[in-house]
Amino acid sequence: QVQLVESGGGLVQPGGSLRLSCAVSESIHSLYRVAWYRQSPGKQRDVVARIYRGAPPNYADSVKGRFTISRDNEKNTIVLQMNSLKPEDTAVYYCNVLIRLGQDPYWGQGTQVTISP
Q: What are the pLDDT digits (tens) for 55-71?
A: 999 999 999 999 999 98
Task: Please give the Cα distance from 110 to 4 (Å, whole number).
Answer: 9
Average pLDDT of the chain, as a whole number: 95
8 Å CB contact between 29 and 94: no
Give the CA diameter of the chain: 43
- Assess whether pLDDT exceeds 90 at residue 30: no
Portion of the chain with pLDDT greater than 70, in percent: 100
Neighbour-count burial for 44-78, b at 16+ CB within 10 Å, e otherwise? ebeebbbbeeeeeeebeeebeeebebebeeeeebb
49 vs 29: which has the higher pLDDT: 49
Task: Please give the Cα distance from 32 to 115 (Å, whole number).
Answer: 31
Model pLDDT for residues 76-111, shown as the tens digit of each residue: 999 999 999 999 999 999 999 999 999 999 999 999
8 Å CB contact between 79 and 21: yes
